[in-house]
Chain A
Amino acid sequence: MNIVVCVKQVPETAEADLKLAPDGKGIVKEGLPLQINESDNYALEQALLLTEEHGGDVTVVTLGPGSSDEVLRMSMAKGAREAVRLGGAEFERGDAVAVARALAAGLKGLSYDLVLTGCVSSDEGHTQVGVALAECLGIPHATYVVQMEMGDGEVTVGRELEGGLIEKLLLKLPCVLGIQTGINEPRYASIMGIAKASKREIALKGASDVGLDAGAVGEAGSRTRIVALSYPPAGEKAEILEGTPPEVSAKLAGVLKEKGFV
């Protein structure tokens, strides 16, 4: 069983004080460490586990600048066989559909039974690329996948819904699955492993290499665009509870009860 995993390099922002870029349409990324998008890391692990169990190879595909090669090398260090990067100025500032269109074109010629993506990117958070990719490829999809069971030419998946509900779906292969965090426990890529993987080839493809006009990808190929980013307005609802730990706990429990959270 061959699996393609779509991965993305994103800035880590968990503890960072984010600043708006001068054009107001993005954030200042300088100084932020770059890493694999969190749910993509789970998608990669899921692919590796599945091929370890059922045989076959994992190919990782990304769309992004040269720095994204780090994510591909890390993926190869963990066990991916091949890596493809869609790179070039024409791909910049694409919306979710433009990215999906490019990925779908990039997948042509690859043999796959499954395409896994993360269910959401931690930077822009559209949650649309996987779905749009499935539409472009003309194959079924499921999102927020937290369970998988392979059958003969099909897969049963559990989708995470609100309130702890799991929706079970049966999909014919090939299909696109958006993997939710927590479905597995991602392995570690050692520095030695990454160093070895850095000697392996990454296939770099521009729009014309995958049969697309430059106008079909990136900003030119997008139907949506970011007009402006802004900070959420500061509210005045914050309340600092003070006292000893037992006192603060009691006050907190009171607030939660009063607001109807418990």
Chain B
Amino acid sequence: MATSLRERFELLGCIQCGRCTAGCPVSLRTYLNVRKVVYEGVTGSGPRDATGRPEAWNCTTCSNCTDRCPKGVKPMELLIGLRSAAIERGKAQPTVRDALESTLKHGNPWGRIRDKRMDWAEGLDVPVAGEGEKARLLFYVGCTSAYDPLAQAGSRALAAVLAAAGVKYATLGTAESCCGSEIRRMGEDGLFELLSEGNREMFRDRGVETIVTNSPHCMNTFRNEYGEHGITVLHYSQLLAGLLDDGSLKLGTSVDMKVTYHDPCFLGKHNHIYDEPRRVLRAIPGITFVEMDRSRERALCCEGGGGRMWVEPPKERGERLADLRVKDAVALGAARIVTACPFCLKTLDDAVKTSGNEGKIAPIDLAELVAMAL
């Protein structure tokens, strides 16, 4: 690499104010000091790849540092860049290596075969657009929502809600491949390019005009990292809010439940979608919705992003953030912690168990809650 980190990531704007570190949710519990990483990038005194700076793998790419920087520096991209330099040299921890190799082989980081990608839809009438067939409104399921049993429930619920609202859509079936969001964040730029080229080609072939995703991570990458493609990209909470507004989606069953909402970082901080999920929640008859103190822009990250589903994070201390999140929700007396992201769903589900709150609270995908109200 000829260019310095300073040039590649435009670090000279940094005034060392430290807002990045102050806002970094994992600085509470890891040895990652974002300000210091940027400083050493400016002076050229630090390691040039994550092999020499393992704490770069602690980052969840929640975007707090980048959002809060008063000088427009992007420390998060620097941390991803350090990972990329390690990956290019083949330095990947086994879980990351396996996720990357699986994505190349099977189109998903979970090590599951392509043939089973539509297993979540078994028994449901979910339309599939084959080669050359049109999918003007594409429901992009995403790897985790396709394969993970917990997240599959959200996919099934969303399919039921779309059917109830009479929405004409199609999926890509087993031809769907990973969006590449977590692949890029694990530092595999080449594989990300490969996936994004393949997906753009697939979208063109199917005549896609609008994509609706289960996961905010897929949405973010299609929207902000795929270059110009002219396709409208929505998170399903936005689609559902629109369907409620125009009257095509009617919620007639009362769901008598006290719930709170956990903002996924890639929906909120990355894309400023705070209102639609709340509008959908409030439209559910019978629901009592209470806000956590740390919500919207101030929401606490669950640590599920940035490839962290596959990263064995180095040295940590203190409580996991998802545990804190669950405790906050329990303190509010909520029976359910609603979210709209498969990674959040998984990390919160783990946290319910590790924080000893099983039976008191459970995470649920927003789509599942909406399906209960049909």
Contacts and interface: CB of A to CB of B under 8 A. Distances in A.
A78 B88 CA distance: 10
A177 B294 CA distance: 59
Contacts of B300: none
A191 B113 contact: no
Contacts of B101: 35, 188
Contacts of A12: 105, 113
A190 B115 contact: no
B263 interface: no
A89 interface: no
Contacts of B12: none
A15 interface: yes
A31 B188 CA distance: 25
Binding site secondary structure of chain A: loop
B312 to A, nearest CB: 12
Interface in B173-228: 188-191, 193-194
Given A15-B116, A78-B90, A191 B191 contact: yes
Contact of A33 (B100, B106, B194): B106
A191 B190 CA distance: 5
Contacts, number: 56
B115 A188 contact: no
B139 to A, nearest CB: 24
Contacts of B114: 31, 33
A26 interface: no
B1 to A, nearest CB: 12
A15 B112 contact: yes
B115 A187 contact: no
Given A12-B105, A16-B113, A187 B92 contact: yes
Given A15-B113, A191-B194, A192-B190, A35 B87 contact: no
A255 interface: no
Nearest to B189: A192
Given A35-B105, A190-B88, A185 B94 contact: yes
Interface residues of B, number: 25
Interface in B104-123: 104-106, 112-116
A119 to B, nearest CB: 20
A196 to B, nearest CB: 10
A172 to B, nearest CB: 32
A193 B90 contact: yes
Contacts of A189: 90
A87 interface: no
From B90, B112, B190, residue with most partner A Cβ within 10 Å: B90
Nearest to B89: A190
Contacts of A191: 104, 188-191, 193-194
Interface in A15-38: 15-17, 31, 33, 35
B97 interface: yes
Contacts of B189: 191-192
Interface in B319-358: none
A12 B107 CA distance: 14
Contacts of A15: 112-113, 116
Interface string A183-216: 0011111111111000000000000000000000
A186 B113 CA distance: 22
Contacts of A190: 87-90, 188, 190-191
Interface of A: 12, 14-17, 31, 33, 35, 77-78, 185-195
25 contacts: A12-B105, A15-B116, A16-B115, A31-B114, A31-B115, A33-B105, A33-B106, A33-B113, A35-B105, A77-B90, A186-B97, A187-B90, A188-B90, A188-B96, A188-B101, A190-B87, A190-B88, A190-B190, A191-B188, A191-B189, A192-B88, A192-B189, A192-B190, A193-B90, A194-B190
